[in-house]
Structure 1
Amino acid sequence: MAFSLFQDLKLGILGGGQLGRMLIQSSFDFNIDIAIMDPDDQAPCSRIASRFKVGSLKDYTDVYEFGKGCDVITVEIENVNTEALRQLELEGKKVYPQPAVIELIQDKRIQKQFYKDHNIPTSPFILTEDRNEVMRHADFLPAVHKLGREGYDGRGVQMLRQVEDISKAFDKPGVLEKLIDFQTEISVIVARNPQGQVRTFPAVELVYHPEANLVEYLFAPAKISPEVADKAEKIAIDVITKLDMIGLLAVEMFVTKEGEVLVNEVAPRPHNSGHQTIEANHTSQYEQHLRSIMGAPLGDTAALKPSAMVNLLGEEGYEGLAKYEGMEESMAVDGAHIHLYGKSYTKPFRKMGHVTIVDEDLDRLKEKADFIKNTLKIKA
């Protein structure tokens, strides 16, 4: 699949959210013809995609019929019908990430077992079938209980610190993970193309919202030693290589106080922890994903400047047509770039946009990130 043939290939993306929207924006530079399918006719991609189809991402027929009209198929969300993708792959379509990889990542239980079976460092865990089984492992607490399937954007995760918390455990198949006393949480985004070329982005440091379990903001580069950064990069490469995956993979990891690096979860697509690469790196994660799945050489991932990213989440207590407060003040911040996702309706903790800030001075960078976080509010 030659780089010069980009404009002759039809790329189909399953999912029309903000990740798909930013993929489309990046694709304009290469004249890539993109089709989108999403169940919501008002999805962020609906206004900018050259071809937009309303359909269920979980329905075999919808996914199969959509994929038949594409040369290359990718995803911006993992919760898709992989049976249809497998059939399309058998019929000669390029499906990246591969259906087998998507299936593995769709189930956190299988994902964790994969790490264990392939000697990839991760936290100790127990596979559970229901809440009663969690109770039988009360001596394993404190722990985090995660739904095996369909947890997304902070949903499907419960913190169990003591026996009394077990009532909050899921009464469905899940994984009980030992609570790690980590020093920081980082993410390394890695890409691999069909020719086997692999490149990583520098590690970023993640700060989570205490209630929503979503990334609230991040800083790049992460405040970790060169030794830990090198270890994290090698683990990310090891994961994507052992998965034999084509595309972009975000590898979220814990760094313990002893300097150990443990894989938490992965996402086989552009990720919240890579938004800042649009302004802060030679190649954005979106361009890198397009390069990898279209069979092109991978781009330079080096950072141009230190950066921060602030997620713009719907304010708690507000639901309705979005109203943005503090926009003018935030736009006046030097080095700040606001990205809105085209969502007209807000609700608590809904991802409505993000802001990237670049600055050579790390202290000033943090001050600017805090200012925007406390100034730019999405209400109704």
Structure 2
Amino acid sequence: MYTPFRSGYSRGEPDRPSRKKPMFPVSQALRGFLKQHGREVKLPVSYRDLQRFTYSVPLKDKEGQDTHWETVVYDMREWEYIREGLVRIYALLRTEGDMTFSKHLDVARIDYCAFGNSQPFRIRIVNKFNDNYDHYYIKIADASRIYGLELEHMLSPNRITFLTNNHSLVEEHIPGIPGDVFIQQHLNRPDTNKIRIAKEFVKFNERCFVRLLGDMRSYNFVIDITPDIEDYQYRIRAIDFDQQSYEGRKNLYLPQFFKENFPLVETTLKHLNKDSIQQYQTEERTMMTFRLVSARYRLKELLDIMGKDTISTPEKLHQLASELSEMHHNHKGLLRARNMGQLVKEHLKVCLRKNLLLIPRFQGRSED
């Protein structure tokens, strides 16, 4: 059973994410999982340390437009401690803590964004020899987001590097053109291969729905463009994982239904027929199945922990389970889920069981 790919947006569309999602604490069981897999490490600087800035100034883009970010400034008595700690965190992300190359690294700028659930600090690290720079983020540790990051690492074509420590979450920067910028400035350029971007949007739509990652509006994903033989390949990557299996409406897990993504939906329906769309949906579910098999022990451990955790409300759980069950021909297993973690696990089974049974070692094991 494949989700029909169509435009569901109209003015007054009720499918909007919650304006403010609550933060969910990291449980002891999840903390143990993170330690076991090298995610939980002692950080020299915490999120709370970064909150002690003295003042901030609005950050503008190259056209002088507001970016929703502010550049923050610290008292000089604290700056040296913060600067050294942030360089060390970068070394933890990039070289597993090897400080051999840290002497030519420095913190060029720290930006803060109060817009959004995670209220991130963006750290710009610069190489003093050649002025090349890189970014990473420090955010409030939220269980929803951590589950989302782990599921992205295991079930998508993208590997994710992140670290946690108590109330702090450190994430690497995910490079790419923001989806809203791509739609405005690149989608209709003559050198954009609209068939390939349509194909990738179908696959991205499928990935989000199968693992129940919500709120993938255009500014919550980026598009990575790779030159290929005589043309370009495209990869859409999620960059915001706050809405991992939180909302109650099924359509919020399908990027095709957000008005911000309508130009991509329109492009897809114009350039791909029904058979091609179903082919790409099948391809993505097949690849997700192979990834699931490869990471099955780690994934089972995570889903077992997630299945005992609270990352949404009973009302949203009941609504989503009911809508998914109806979509999957009144599937009873979805209705038996007692929380969002169990619902994610059951939805993976429902969506990928057919593909899983084509793998010889899993034939006859439909209940695993």
TM-score (norm 2): 0.28
> Higher Cα Rg: structure 1 or 2?
2
More strand by share: 1
More helix by share: 2
Higher RCO by CA contacts (8 Å cutoff, separation 6 or greater): 2
